[in-house]
């Protein structure tokens, strides 16, 4: 049996007892988390809480120290899994846009389609142009990354991920490297994907996005899930003191006290 076969009834992402250490430093201390198909889950928390490491473990960019992770029923932590095949189902968007600087926007969208999926250039370009339309950059296909703003580069990166036709999308603080005025365009694209039913696991500091778009918010601190639930519960009425302190600082930075965290 192909260990990358999809199981229709399985969750999009299943994480059980996930641990990750770098030397003596334990970054993830036993994470249990499930993301249903079509669900948007936003992960929030202070820097260094393990959010990005969690995301990178899902598609095995970081190898877990212990625990099990499955994607659409395929256990990616199984040594015998065809990880490259599973990764084709996962789109990932990073903080830094990771575009090829010597390629145009269109070529950035087509190179993986042609080399990984085996599509012809005309077929890959058709898919790429359709996704540039989705992110509002149809007039930028001939532009190089250096000719684009940070927000435009990030939207190209999202369009590139979409061009591989993933089943789910991982976003690692996709707006953290952007000027504030450019954040809205990227979040608008992500809202559109959520409305279309894309499964999304999003590490973010954008509380308004998490409140408005997420089906569930997960608060992490010190490598553990402290609290999770509906946005109105976790952001609007947090039960854990650590969550309340974090949100107070994020939502009203001027009111924070020195050493509070």
Asked whether the predicted pLDDT for residue 58 surpasses 50, the reply is yes
pLDDT for the residue 257? 62
pLDDT in tens, 179-211: 888 899 999 999 999 999 999 999 999 999 999
pLDDT in tens, 112-133: 999 999 999 999 999 999 999 9
pLDDT in tens, 75-95: 999 999 999 999 989 999 998
pLDDT for the residue 10? 79
* DSSP string computed for 42-68: EEE--TTSSHHHHHHHHTTSS--SEEE
According to DSSP, the residues that pair with 217 across neighbouring strands are: 42, 229
pLDDT in tens, 100-112: 999 999 999 999 9
The pTM of this model reads: 0.91
According to DSSP, the residues that pair with 157 across neighbouring strands are: none
3-state secondary structure of 252: coil
pLDDT for the residue 3? 43
pLDDT for the residue 260? 53
Distances (CA, A) of 239 to 154, 233, 234: 35, 8, 7
CA-CA distance, 156 to 99, in Å (whole number)? 8
């Amino acid at each position: 049996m192909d260990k990358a076969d999809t199981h229709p009834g399985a969750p999009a992402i299943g994480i059980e007892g996930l641990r990750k250490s770098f030397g003596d430093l334990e970054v993830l201390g036993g994470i249990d988390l499930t993301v249903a198909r079509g669900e948007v889950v936003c992960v929030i928390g202070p820097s260094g809480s393990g959010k990005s490491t969690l995301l990178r473990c899902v598609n095995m960019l970081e190898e877990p120290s212990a625990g099990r992770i499955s994607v659409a029923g395929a256990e990616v932590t199984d040594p015998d899994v065809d990880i490259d095949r599973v990764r084709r189902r996962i789109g990932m968007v990073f903080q830094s846009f990771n575009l090829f600087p010597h390629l145009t926007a269109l070529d950035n969208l087509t190179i993986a389609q042609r080399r990984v999926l085996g599509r012809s250039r005309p077929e890959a370009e058709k898919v790429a142009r359709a996704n540039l339309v989705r992110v509002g950059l149809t007039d930028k296909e001939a532009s190089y990354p250096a000719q684009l703003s940070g927000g435009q580069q990030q939207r190209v990166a999202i369009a590139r991920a979409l061009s591989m036709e993933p089943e789910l999308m991982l976003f690692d603080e996709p707006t953290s490297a952007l000027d504030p005025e450019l954040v809205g365009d990227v979040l608008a694209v992500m809202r559109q994907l959520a409305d279309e039913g894309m499964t999304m696991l999003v590490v973010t500091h954008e509380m308004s996005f998490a409140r408005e778009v997420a089906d569930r918010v997960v608060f992490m601190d010190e490598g553990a899930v402290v609290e999770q639930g509906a946005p109105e519960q976790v952001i609007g009425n947090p039960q854990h003191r650590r969550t309340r302190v974090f949100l107070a600082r994020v939502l009203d930075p001027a009111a924070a006290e020195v050493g509070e965290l």
